[in-house]
Amino acid sequence: MLVILLKNLSSRVGIILILALFLSKIGLFRKLVSKENIDIKDKILLSIIFGIFGIIGTYTGIHLQGAIVNSRVIGVFVGGLLGGPLVGILSGIIAGGHRFLIDIGGFTAIACGISTLSEGAMAGLLKKKFESSPYRITFALISGAIAEVIQMIIILLVARPFSEALDLVKIIGIPMIVGNGIGIAAFIAITDSIFKEIENEAVYQAQLTLKIADRTLAYFRKGYNEDTARDTAKIIYDMSKIKAVAFTDTEKILAHVGIGEDHHLVGSTIQTNLTKEALLAKKYVVANTREEIGCNNSNCPLKSAIIVPIKEDDKVIGTLKLYKGQENSITKVDIELALGLAQMFSTQIELSKIDYQRELLSRSELKALQAQINPHFLFNAINTIVSLTRTQPDNARKLLIHLGNYFRTNLQQDIEVVDLYKEIEHINSYIEIEKARFGDKLDIIYDIPENIECKLPPLLLQPIVENAIKHGVLGKIEGGRVEIIARDNGKETKLVVKDDGVGISKEDLDCLFKENDNKESIGLKNVNERLRNKYGKEYGLILESEINKGTTATMVIPKF
Question: Helix (H, G, I), strand (E, B), or coil: what is residue 552?
Answer: strand
pLDDT of residue 341: 87
Q: What is the pLDDT of residues 449-500, one digit of tens each?
A: 988 889 988 878 888 998 898 888 988 888 899 999 999 988 899 999 999 9
pLDDT of residue 81: 94
pLDDT of residue 48: 95
pLDDT of residue 322: 94
The residues, ordered by sequence, that sit 6+ positions from 417 with a Cβ below 8 Å of its Cβ are 455, 456, 457, 458
Helix (H), strand (E) at residue 75: helix 72-83
Rounded Cα distance, 275 and 411, in Å: 49
Q: pLDDT > 90: what percent of the chain?
A: 39
The pLDDT of residue 113 is above 70: yes
Q: Give 103's pLDDT tier (boundaries 50, 70, 90).
A: low
DSSP 467: H
Closest CA to 457 of 534, 399, 509, 523: 534
Q: pLDDT > 70: what percent of the chain?
A: 88
Structural contact between residues 111 and 159, judged by C-beta atoms closer than 8 angstroms: yes
Q: What is the pLDDT of residues 9-38, one digit of tens each?
A: 888 888 888 888 888 877 778 777 776 677
User: Mean pLDDT in the chain?
Assistant: 85
Q: What is the pLDDT of residues 257-268, one digit of tens each?
A: 999 999 999 999
Query: Phi, psi (5° rounding) for residue 459?
Result: 55, 35
* Mean pLDDT within 183-200: 85
Closest CA to 503 of 464, 471, 540, 462: 471
* Mean pLDDT within 74-91: 94
pLDDT of residue 407: 65
Rounded Cα distance, 89 and 131, in Å: 18
Q: What is the pLDDT of residues 42-58, one digit of tens each?
A: 899 999 999 999 999 99
Q: What is the pLDDT of residues 192-223, one digit of tens each?
A: 888 777 677 667 766 777 778 777 767 776 77
The amino acid at residue 256 is H
The pLDDT of residue 73 is above 90: yes
| Residues comprising the chain, all counted | 560
Q: Give 413's pLDDT tier (boundaries 50, 70, 90).
A: low
The residues, ordered by sequence, that sit 6+ positions from 335 with a Cβ below 8 Å of its Cβ are 284, 286, 306
Number of H helices, E strands in the chain: 19, 14
pTM of the model: 0.49
Question: Residue 545: beta bridge partners?
Answer: 551
Rounded Cα distance, 246 and 236, in Å: 10
The pLDDT of residue 372 is above 60: no
Question: What's the sign of the alpha-carbon dihedral 342, 225, 294, 259?
Answer: negative
* Mean pLDDT within 353-372: 57
